[in-house]
Amino acid sequence: MTNSSRRTPILLATTTVLLLSSLFLPSNALDTESTSTMTASKIKGITNVVIAIAMEAEAAPFIEHLSLAEDADFFPKVTPFKAYRGLHEDCDITVVTNGKDDVHASGVDNVGTVPAAVATFLALQTITTTTSSPPDLLINAGTCGGFKRKGAGIGDVFLTTAVANHDRRIPIPAFVDYGIGRIESVNASELAKSLNAKLGVCTTGNSLDKHDVDDFHMEQNDASVKDMEAAAIAWSCSLHNVPHLGVKVVTDIVDGDKPTEEEFLENLSSAAKSLQEALPKVIAHVCGKHHHEL
């Protein structure tokens, strides 16, 4: 047998192995361009941020401040949700709001967990589809009730450490943790120092007021602040594997003496202005950084 004839089976075997390897390896294993893109994404840090805000009165000052433009084609036409987009601090910014109630023809803001979860899910899905990658961070910005037992005062800015539900009570052992639905927020301790903000758990429920049973579960959640959307928004973020952070301004004291609805309406305008002042600082801090640097 000549050297040439001995090499032929070896070459054929090698070719066969390479061919089979290409069939069974993941497609991106041989895609150097894809690998380079992923590496570049990790290097560049946070450059695409979604900001979910339930009420238009809360969002309007910030949208105006950043000169964001409405994107009428962002959400499906059948939904009431609104999207405003633009560039700021070298970041792609998308602000989404829950829009107004058409179903019951009340014209009020769509507050609560259902519209918040759906709007967030669709926003993350749209950006992931159009850019081939999910957003780097979702910020849930808005007003909240605060607990004086946790040191909250009117106008305080809180960053969430975690979110949980206090009114999703399912007293069946296998469902208890699901009902509470606790989800950790991205660690933002450096941002808290920069803003002189406070840190704490946000507890979520679908009622503005509260009852004794709510008090018990909110305390069990170790809540510093209370809202009507955060846990639902975090749930949608988890489905898309997008880190989330709540930026909340206190409008009312949950464990105070004033009726919640009166105190909320009294302080909503000033809280929206505080939010407008805080959010650009938040964007300036997070853009370009990695999550562990927040």
252 flagged as catalytic: yes
Q: What pLDDT shows up at residue 2?
A: 45
Q: What pLDDT shows up at residue 23?
A: 39
Q: What is the pTM of this model?
A: 0.84
Q: What pLDDT shows up at residue 270?
A: 86
- The identity of residue 245, as a single letter, is L
Q: Name the catalytic one among 58, 136, 227, 263.
A: 58
- Stretches where the chain sits below pLDDT 50 are 1-41
Residues 151-207 pLDDT 10s: 999 999 999 999 999 999 999 999 999 999 999 999 999 999 999 999 999 999 999
109 flagged as catalytic: no
Q: Name the catalytic one among 156, 167, 214, 252.
A: 252
Residues 34-57 pLDDT 10s: 333 334 445 679 999 999 999 998
Q: What pLDDT shows up at residue 272?
A: 83
Q: What pLDDT shows up at residue 43?
A: 64
Q: What pLDDT shows up at residue 18?
A: 39
